Amino acid sequence: MVRPLVPRAPFPLNAPMQDIGSPDAGSDQTLEDRLLAVGRDRDRAAFAALFGHFAPRLKAYLRRQGCDAAGAEELVQEVMLLVWRRAETYDPAQASASTWVFTIARNKRIDVLRREQRPEIDPDDPALVPALVPDRPESADRRLETQESAGRLRAALKDLPPEQAELLRLAYFEDKPHSVISIERGIPLGTVKSRLRLAMERLRKALRDTA
Amino acid sequence: MTVPTHHPGDTLLIDYAGGALDEAVSLAVATHLALCPCCRLNVAEMEAVGGALLEEIEPEAVDPTSLEAVLARLDEHPPLPRAAAPVRPSKPVPVPLIPEPLRRYIGDDPSRLPWTRLMRGMDCCDIPLSRTLSGPPGSRSKARLMRLGPGVGPPHHTHRGIELTLVLDGGFTDDLGQFGRGDLSVADGSIRHRPVADEEGCLCLAVTDGLLRFTGALGLILNPFVKF
């Protein structure tokens, strides 16, 4: 019998995690803390806790991308192994743990399901045109900011009008560009675009609002 | 260094951040990102949206033996070494003409590529992409480099799908304005655009996800050759 490894209710992004069967269950460690512990100490208990949190979400994500149950199980394991191997490169000032895991899962499924490369920038490329205003260097502050903005983002996501939230989920979960979504759902392309733009405007405002 | 003034726009960037674009279109968007700090910030924020959506997705129970299976495999998978911090040279390194990720596809010296002449002042060169196993042949986007001499404009054409044109060197001007290095032009079926290369000529990455059709008399001659 398959039993859920985590409670069905979603975790708040940066709130204390409740985990089943991990030695430090009930501690107030965030996902980010645990990811850092894996990167720093190869902490298996922290990894198990991350698995408990992310594996069921990754499975749901991969199923929506068209994986069958067995394929999704296998791919979840591959993604979690990458999390283990790459944890050392995780920088909490740049992204929340969920965002970081999302990008790993996205790239892995493009690689495995589509057998395509995903072209990405190389941050060390001398041809990269730098930002006009350089990133603030204080890492501790930026980590806090990243966590706070992730919290605001989740709140803003809940407040989106349903038709915007629905399109946003399709755009991120169904491996279809917005032009295809428009055709398949019978929604005019202009409407798809304007809903996605409006949604992104609200979310961007929430992310950037430092008040 | 100037920053681009023509951008992909939110919807294309969302498709990129979510991973819905195919390799050719992603290549044009990602190479624009290398030249455009403002769109890089946008994509980072859109990836944060992806993280938040993953957080709130309805979880699906995994096989209870799955964690054990992964834990048993951890030792076969040593951590990937952290990339060495880039050495900051004391004097500025020359800026490659072709930014990543395009550079790993075509190198940094376009003059050495196997160009095909399409017409006087207009050459092209197909860019090989990963072999795609899914989808009917010809259904995927194609990527090619285009090289236009000064003042040269390709014959008037329309698009069935979208065409992305990313300027790498020189520039061109069309109904929508002037396009220089890093600028991305997004044309869809509704646009019948007439780009003309600027005085210094134009090197650009052209990606199209539909058949390109030249209109007018020259089109009758060119269409058989330019099968996008």
pLDDT in tens, A7-60: 444 444 444 444 444 444 456 789 999 999 999 999 999 999 999 999 999 999
Domain presence at residue B163: yes
**Chains A, B: CB pairs < 8 Å:** 264
Indicate whether B212 pLDDT > 80.
Answer: no
DSSP state of A176: -
Q: Strand, helix or coil at B169? A: strand
Query: Encoding tokens for residue A203?
Result: 């979310």
Biggest distance spanned by C-alpha atoms of chain B? 68
Indicate whether B228 pLDDT > 70.
Answer: no
Domain presence at residue B98: no
Instruction: Find chain A residues with C-beta within 8 A of B20's C-beta.
Output: 171, 174-178
Contacts with B, A 91-130, CB within 8 Å: 94-103, 105-107, 109-110, 114-122, 124-130
- Whether A11-119 and A160-211 share one fold: the answer is no
Query: Between helices A189-208 and A139-159, what is the axis angle to 10°?
Result: 140
* pLDDT attached to residue A28: 76
Query: Between these two residues, B1 and A147, which has the higher pLDDT value?
Result: A147
Q: How many Cα atoms occupy the beta-carbon half-sphere of B97 within 13 Å?
A: 14
Domain presence at residue B178: yes
The verdict on a CB contact (< 8 Å) between B133 and A77 is no
Q: Strand, helix or coil at A10? A: coil
Indicate whether B13 pLDDT > 50.
Answer: yes
Indicate whether B75 pLDDT > 90.
Answer: no
Of the candidates A65, A3, A21, the one whose C-alpha atom is nearest the C-alpha of residue B61 is: A3
Measured distance CA(B57)–CA(B47) in Å, rounded: 15
Average pLDDT over residues A128-157: 80
Indicate whether B110 pLDDT > 50.
Answer: yes
Going from the C-alpha of B165 to that of each of A29, B30, B145, B168, the distances in angstroms are: 47, 13, 9, 9
Give ipTM to 2 decimals: 0.86
User: Within this chain, do residues B29 and B66 fall inside the same structural domain, yes or no?
Assistant: yes
User: Within this chain, do residues B135 and B200 fall inside the same structural domain, yes or no?
Assistant: yes
Kindly state the helix (H) or strand (E) to which residue B22 belongs, with its residue range. none
pLDDT bracket for residue A166 (50, 70, 90) = very high
Measured distance CA(B157)–CA(B153) in Å, rounded: 11
Q: Strand, helix or coil at A166? A: helix
Range in B150-154, B172-176, B189-193 with the lowest mean pLDDT: B189-193
Contacts with B, A 28-47, CB within 8 Å: 39, 42, 44, 47
Average pLDDT over residues B205-219: 61
* pLDDT attached to residue B69: 93
B168 Cβ contact list (under 8 Å, min separation 6): B31, B97, B98, B102, B110, B145, B181, B203, B204, B205
Q: Strand, helix or coil at B119? A: strand
Domain presence at residue B183: yes
Going from the C-alpha of A92 to that of each of A54, A98, A143, the distances in angstroms are: 17, 11, 5
Domain ranges of chain A: 11-119, 160-211
Average pLDDT over residues B151-180: 85
Query: Encoding tokens for residue A95?
Result: 């992204």
N-term to C-term CA, chain B? 33
- CATH of residue B16's domain is 1.10.10.1320
User: Within this chain, do residues B215 and B107 fall inside the same structural domain, yes or no?
Assistant: yes
Give the residue numbers spanning the domain of B28.
10-76
pLDDT bracket for residue B163 (50, 70, 90) = confident
- Domain A11-119 classified CATH 3.40.50.2030? no
Amino acid at site A90: Y
DSSP state of B74: G
User: Within this chain, do residues B110 and B212 fall inside the same structural domain, yes or no?
Assistant: yes
Q: Which of A88, A128, A147, A192 to mutate to test the interface with B (most CBs of B within 10 A)?
A: A128
- pLDDT tens, B122-156? 999 999 888 654 444 455 688 999 999 999 987 76
Total tally of structural domains belonging to chain B: 2
Average pLDDT over residues A68-81: 95
User: Within this chain, do residues B120 and B34 fall inside the same structural domain, yes or no?
Assistant: no
To the nearest whole percent, how much of chain A has pLDDT over 90? 61
pLDDT bracket for residue A136 (50, 70, 90) = low
Domain presence at residue B199: yes
pLDDT bracket for residue B41 (50, 70, 90) = very high
Measured distance CA(B13)–CA(B8) in Å, rounded: 7
- Burial readout A95-127 (b: 16 or more C-beta within 10 A, e: otherwise): bbbbbbbbbbbbbbbbebbbebbbbbbeeebeb
Indicate whether B79 pLDDT > 60.
Answer: yes
CATH architecture of A160-211: Orthogonal Bundle (1.10)
Query: Encoding tokens for residue B107?
Result: 């190198």
Indicate whether B214 pLDDT > 90.
Answer: no
User: Within this chain, do residues B107 and B213 fall inside the same structural domain, yes or no?
Assistant: yes
User: Within this chain, do residues B27 and B62 fall inside the same structural domain, yes or no?
Assistant: yes
Q: Which of B1, B10, B33, B54 to mutate to test the interface with A (most CBs of A within 10 A)?
A: B54
Query: Between these two residues, B163 and B160, which has the higher pLDDT value?
Result: B163
Q: Which of A102, A147, A169 to mutate to test the interface with B (most CBs of B within 10 A)?
A: A102
Gap from A116 CA to chain B (nearest CA, Å): 6
